[in-house]
Amino acid sequence: MYAGLAVILIACAACSDSPTGPIALTRVEAHVQDSPGPGTVAGTFAGNFSASVWDGDEWVALGSPNGITVALQSGALTTVHGEQSVPAGSYSRVRLVLQDVTARVASGSSIGGTTLTSDRTITLGGSNQRVDLAISVSSFDVGDDPAIRRRIVFDLRSAQWLTSNVVQSGVVDDAALQSAVTASTVVEPR
């Protein structure tokens, strides 16, 4: 009898770990890009990226941090997290977390009127190498329509902060990234 009661208690405890609210049939995915800027810049961002959405009470992660590579100033989309389930509801903020991300700027790139004669590596986020970018977006709903998905696109906009001073120091601080990075969302068919 006690064994049966223990099974019921364990099953009930497992229920409390589920996300709050019903899981939406609409899926959410996150991408990152770096828009083209003036001049000739080539290279990559590489490191751990993760995305989440704000439900009004807490951040809902769209997956574990992913080690990805993003083309510098190409405008190409790179997937951070593919289609994920989140609780049904309304969301008005999105977050991109960068951990141990570096930008490798290729030799021959032109930044601030200077052409690089060797590759340069730039650390994003200062000494702790972590940047937490929470961005307000137009409020969007995630509901019960399995025929659509919500795409979130974070734009790193390195042309705003990749200056000759940053290349010289090898570090870009959080504040420069906070003021430059943008996010947008769009609904599209699945």
- Percentage above 90 pLDDT, the chain: 82
Strand 148-155 vs strand 27-33: parallel, antiparallel, or unpaired?
parallel
Task: Classify residue 147 by burial, with Cβ atoms within 10 Å: 0-12, 13-18, 19+.
Answer: exposed
Whether the per-residue pLDDT at 135 is higher than 90: the answer is yes
How far is the C-alpha of 28 from the C-alpha of 60, rounded, in Å? 11
Neighbours of 30 (CB within 10 A): 28
Domain count within the chain: 1
pLDDT band at 20; cut points 50, 70, 90: low
Q: What torsion do the CA atoms of 64, 69, 71, 73 make, to the nearest 10 degrees?
A: 50
Per-residue pLDDT averaged across 87-92, rounded?
Answer: 94
Are 149 and 188 a contacting pair, CB within 8 Å?
yes
pLDDT tens track for 148-186: 999 999 999 999 999 999 999 999 999 999 999 999 999
User: Domain span at residue 179?
Assistant: 2-189
pLDDT at 127: 84
